[in-house]
Structure 1
Amino acid sequence: MVSMQPCTLCREARIAARRKRVQDKLAAVRAQAQAAARSADASAATSQQQPVAAAAQQQAAPGAQAGLGAAYPKAAQQVAESQRRLLRLRHRTTHEVTSVRVAADEAEAAHRAAEEQLRQELRGKLLDEAEHSAAANAQVAAGWPPLFDILVPQKLWGAMEEQRAACEAIIASKDALVAELRGALRSKDEEYVRLLKRQASGIDTLLTCMGRQLAEVGQAYSDELEAVEAALLQERGELLSGNQKEGTAMLAARAQAEQEFTEKWVGLELLAGALLFGLRQS
């Protein structure tokens, strides 16, 4: 009995030592597997955060750079083309609207020049008539005193007829100038009516051009906005599709890594079980 106890103690010690070594190996394998899992999780999280950070930077860059070229090249190109088309449209429609005013200003300038010329002509005629009338009146006034010295009735009648003819000539000259001034006044009245009609026609033309410009520019802005929105939606779809494919690939890689880890873990468990079974059998 005394000789069997040391052998039993030695066997139990060996079994305990073997179990301890197996447990140490299993602990080392578990630690290695956990470290690999943590590394895989960290790499997956980093790869998932990178597209989000890149997208955020791309969305923030246009605001800082005042453009969409870095993040949305197609949309930026569409915006540039839309701006060029709208600029040409605004230039053309504005030219059409301003041409009405330019034509009206030119017509008004020509009208004022003609009015000034007519005024100068009438003023010259008035001055000439005043000078001529003053000279004729002086001549008629100078012809009256000699009549008192004429004693022959026939000569007196002839001299008076000459004076009357001179007075009638003065009156006729003044009547002609008055008739010309009245004709100018009537023409001014008629011209005033024509100017009112021309101004009304110009205003109608201007309103028509402005309405057409408003409709064309509004429709152009709507069309260009839809084109830019379509370009942005297209690029958004492409980005979403790319991100979805990238996420699917990452999930597949993660699933494959988990499958490999599970298979490795199961293999280690089977190996550990076999070792334990062998130790128990020994």
Structure 2
Amino acid sequence: IFFRNMSKMDREGEGEPQTREERIKKRRQRLESKMEARKLGTEEGKLSKEQEEKPLGKGEQQIFNSRKKLDHLKTVGMEEVTKFRIETDVAENERRIAEEGQRENRLQKKHDEAASSNKRNASVQMKWQALYEKTIPQDLLKEINAQKEACDKIIHSKDRLIAEFQQELKQKDEDYVKALKKQAEDIDRLISTMHQQTKALIGAYEEELAEIETAFMLERRELLTSNKDEITSLIQQRQTKELQNRKAREDKIELEQNNLDQIHEGYAESYNILKMKLQKEIQGLEQQLEEMRALYQLNAEKLEYNLRVLSERVKENEKAIQHHKRKLARLQDVLSGLITKYADTDKKFQHENNILTEQYRRITEQYKDLQLKFQYFEQADTDKYQKVWEMNEKEAMELVNTCIKADRVVFEQQLGVEWKPPVLNFWSDTDYAEDKEKLVDDSGHEGEEEKELSDMAKRMLEMLCSQCSFLVEERVKKVVEKLEQEDRMPKKIESILKALSVESQGDINKMLAFFQRSLDNEDHTTTIDLIDPQDAIVALRNFIEYQTKNASLQTSKKNQMLSLEERLKDKRRREEHEFWRRMAQVIPERNYRIWHAFEKGLEKYIVLLQDRSKLIEETDTIRHQNDELRSLLNQYMSAKINEELFSPPQLMVAAPAATQG
């Protein structure tokens, strides 16, 4: 009971959701406990009145006193066991509070270290370019030393944070070992207390049973003739109680042992998870440290190499100046050759770029086709799974109905007891349907955005192409110049939309709202038309501001949709598992025990009927033999040979009858 309550409190502390059926079940249990308490109160009052009216015998008085004493012992034992639960709950609460504080401190240290490291890395990275501009070796050496000191400070900060985390991990291991020892000690004390209470309770039972037996023996001596049946029933009742108490004690010991094993497994699993998490963080920090060390080492080697090269060049520059004039003419020839080579290479790279662009478009189309195929096969698998589910559910329901019919026949026809049908609703009340409808509505709203562009939207894109040509990339301009006049407009529009981060038709429709205006006609009606081309830049600026504000909202909405889908899948899996479990347990354990007891009774009844059948056959055989003997005797008595005898059998039979008369 103690470990069951403890696991229940742990589950409530972790915030497990309670379904509607569980809440109804708890309320019903509380009402039943109150009704039983009232019923017990009334029964105790009736018993007290009967006891006042009728004096109790020695045995009954001893039973009453023994029950009071044993109830007192049970109450004391329950209070001692409850102390262990209270102490364990308090220790666990303090440990969780301390663990939460340590976790927040680690996250804060990690965040502070990342912020400071990023700032230092940025400052170090900004100074690298300035080193190339230094021409004096002494200044260059001074700046390199300063950079080296800054890098050492960053590495030292990382090492200090790693050492702190390693120390905390070591402390966690020690705390875990201490917790295991403390838990083992608590369990040993609890087991010792349980053994002591069990021994005390068994001793008390034995003493009380001995006293009860003595009292009944005295009553037996006094009232042997009048109360023999009552004493026999009391002895049988005592034996039944002994067996029940022994069985209850064995069940309780087995239940407590199972709870102990579950607690050991739960704590070991949580420790392994925490240890793996901390090890992953340490490995990530060590990997980052090694990368930074390698980067700093590479930069240091580059700087040393550049320093040596610059020192050598300073010596060689004096000699090289004399040769530069002679090399000018030769370099002019080389420059013209390089210009020619650059033009050829540029043409080659443009050709390769066009080929790669075409490949990218083809791969994109293939990816979209693959997505459509994936959706089709996913729907097919879902339909197949649903069909298999319905088939298995139908077979299982047939088996359930068969079991229920058999249970009803056993209770109503064989036992003559009122039978209550079980609840066949194996699905629990969850919010799965509401979440699914919400997901479908959101996906429907997204799908409504994919519509064909209107004429006004097309005119707006043409206006952007003419007024905002500066958004077209230079690479795209060169490609567009080589195309025909009809194909230039789509390329420019695509480049402009890409620069504005407009990816869907819904974004185009949103942008269209900024390029529209209302016009009043002469007949007092209002029409909507595009703005002047001169105001296109202002409308485009307003749209970019609006898109920047809503970017974060769209990202959060996508993440919410993904998380909702995952929650629905997890919830569906749990519901299916619970469905099959409840279907397998449709017949209560109490009914199974009644079935086994009824089966044993039927077997005994069959044996009795077989014995009666054998006795009936033997009786029929004896009756048949008697008939044969009677007919044979009558035949002998009526034979003619009897008249020739000196004393016929009739006279021998009649003589005793006459004497008796």
TM-score of the aligned structures, taking structure 1 as reference length: 0.57
SS at match of 1:86: helix
Structure with the bigger RCO (C-alpha within 8 Å, sep 6+) is 1
Say whether residues 1:72 and 2:72 are aligned partners: no
User: Does the CA-based 8 Å contact 1:86-1:217 persist in structure 2?
Assistant: yes
1:229-268 matches, within 5 Å, as 229-239=213-223
CA separation of 1:241/1:71 partners in 2, compared to 1, >3 Å: closer, same or farther? farther
Aligned equivalent of 2:156? 172
2:162 is the alignment partner of 1:158: no
Q: One-letter code of the match for 1:95?
A: E
Looking at structure 2, the residues matched to 216 and 242 of structure 1 have their Cα atoms a distance apart, in angstroms, of 37
Alignment-mate amino acid for residue 182 of structure 1: Q
1:224 to 199, 208, 213: 208
Higher mean C-alpha deviation, range 154-163 or range 121-130: 154-163
- Taking only the aligned residue pairs, the percentage that are identical comes to 39
Partners of 1:147 and 1:156 within 8 A in 2: yes
Q: CA deviation at 1:71?
A: 6.3
Q: Does 1:207 align with 2:191?
A: yes
What is the 5 A alignment of 1:114-153? 114-153=98-137
Moved over 4 A (4+): 65-69, 238-243
**Residue type matched to 1:159 in 2?**
E
Alpha-carbon distance in structure 2 between the residues aligned to 1:221 and 1:183 = 55
Deviations 1:42-68 (A, max 9, x none): xxxxxxxxxxxxxxxxxxxxxxx8799
Q: Which amino acid letter does the alignment assign opposite residue 124 of structure 2?
A: V
Structure 1 Cα separation of the partners of residues 62 and 82 of structure 2: 30
How big is the shift at 1:94?
2.1
Q: Is the 8 A contact 1:79 1:228 kept in 2?
A: yes
The count of residues paired between Structure 1 and Structure 2 equals: 179
Match of 1:105 in 2: 89
Q: Distance in 2 between matches of 1:200 and 1:161?
A: 58
Instruction: Give per-residue Cα distances to partners, 1:155-212, cap 9 Å, x unaligned.
Output: 2222222211111111111100000011111111222221221222122111111110
**Residue identity in the other structure for 2:166:** R
> What does 1:20-59 align with in structure 2 at a 5 Å threshold?
none
TM-score calculated relative to the size of structure 2: 0.25
Contact kept, 8 Å, 1:74 with 1:231, in 2: the verdict is yes
How far residue 93 of structure 1 moved from its aligned partner, in angstroms, is 1.4
Aligned to 1:249: none
Query: 2:146 and 2:75 mapped to 1: Cα distance?
Result: 75
- Give the distance between the partners of 1:239 and 1:211, measured in 2 at CA: 40
CA drift at 1:113: 2.1
2:177 pairs with one of 176, 184, 193: 193
Q: Tell me if structure 2 keeps the 8 A contact 1:94–1:213.
A: no
In the TM superposition, residue 124 of structure 1 has moved relative to its aligned partner by 1.1
CA positional deviation for 1:222: 1.2
Q: Secondary structure in 2 aligned to 1:166?
A: helix
Distance across 2 between alignment mates of 1:198 and 1:175? 34
Seen in structure 2, the aligned counterparts of structure 1 residues 219 and 213 have a Cα distance that, compared at 3 Å, is: same
List per-residue Cα deviations over 1:78-109 (Å, max 9, x = no partner): 22222221111111112222322332332223
Deviation of 1:238 (Å)? 4.2
8 Å Cα contact 1:72/1:232 also seen in 2? no
Deviation at 1:154, TM superposition (A): 1.8
1:92 counterpart = 2:76: yes
Give structure 1 stretches of 5+ with no counterpart: 1-64, 244-282
Helix, strand or coil: the match of 2:135? coil
Could you tell me how far 1:242 is from its partner in structure 2? 11
Aligned to 2:167: 183
> Which letter does structure 2 place at the counterpart of 1:80?
F
The AA in structure 1 aligned to 2:169 is: L
Letter matched to residue 168 of structure 1: D
Shift of 1:240: 5.6
CA contact (8 A) 1:72 1:235 kept: no
**1:72 is paired with a residue of what secondary structure?**
coil
- In 1, the alpha carbon distance for the partners of 2:226 and 2:170 equals 83
- Give deviations 1:105-148, integer Å, cap 9, x for gaps: 32223222222211111111111111111111111111211112
Distance 1:177 1:144 in 2: 26
Letter aligned with residue 186 of structure 2 = G
Displacement after TM superposition at 1:235 (Å)? 3.7
- Cα distance in structure 2, aligned partners of 1:77 and 1:142: 97
Distance 1:141 1:149 in 2: 15
Match of residue 6 from structure 1: none
Q: CA RMSD in A?
A: 2.6
Distance 1:210 1:117 in 2: 36
Distance in structure 1 (CA, Å) of the matches to 2:58 and 2:212: 9
Instruction: Return the alpha-carbon distance in structure 1 between the equivalents of residues 72 and 159 of structure 2.
Output: 62
Gaps of 5+ in 2: 1-45, 228-661
Structure 1 Cα separation of the partners of residues 178 and 141 of structure 2: 54
Q: Relative to 1, partners in 2 of residues 1:235 and 1:71: Cα closer, same or farther, differing over 3 Å? A: farther
Distance 1:91 1:72 in 2: 26
1:228-249 Cα offsets, whole Å, 9 max, x none, are 2333333444446999xxxxxx
Report the AA paired with residue 218 of structure 2: Q
- Mapped to 2, the partners of 1:196 and 1:242 lie a distance apart of 64
Higher helix residue share: 1
